[in-house]
Structure 1
Amino acid sequence: MEEKDVTPTQIFDTLAIRFREAKALEHKIDSNLHFTLTDQTKGNYLYTVKVQNGKLEVKTGHHNKPTCTVRTKAQTYVDVNLGKTKPQMAIMLGKIKVSNLPEMFLFAQLFEKFTLDYVK
């Protein structure tokens, strides 16, 4: 697997194994994030990521009322996860739109860094 072949789906599929349950419990995270990732050739990727009581749930589509929404291009999301793009810069430049920045930054700390080793 090469970086150019990574898809948003593969990144979302690794969230469960990269999840830091202890950190979620420590910070008493209760979040329901909606991700909308656009791709003109493959269509949109819609995900809901819920963290409650130290448990993680990832679903395709948008479910329940979000506490934070994230909108960006699919490639920008992949580039941030691969470390090619700094998330703060992408947000400042409007490449990523986040409805609740404090929640998003806390949420991001709940996961080990994504690497190609996680993708089978």
Structure 2
Amino acid sequence: MRKTGKLDYIEMAAVGGTLDHVKSFYSAAFGWTFTDYGPDYAAFAEGLDGGFQAEVPAKPLPILYSEALEETLAAVEDAGGTIVKPIFSFPGGRRFHFTDPAGNELAVWGE
């Protein structure tokens, strides 16, 4: 069951090689399987769902879930977070990105 604020997904970069190279590594090393969503994104479901994305900064992006996206955005701002990408649509839902007071970037998504 998804609950607001729970870690739900993680996105990682596929830099320093190609997306196929990264998929081959995780497949060979750990037996992971992937679902491709276009040429620049491959998702996995290996305990914690996530995906690799080509051409993004080489830092993992933790993604939290929200049952009420606008309310969560307001709570993040009220708590001192900085919105770095306002709410936008993507295949599967909507999300926003923020940085916490330590400078870590996270995202929050909702359906």
TM-score (norm 1): 0.23
**Greater helix proportion:** 1
Q: Which has the larger radius of gyration?
A: 2
TM-score (norm 2): 0.24
**Greater strand proportion:** 2
- Asked which structure has the greater RCO (Cα within 8 Å, sep 6+), the reply is 1
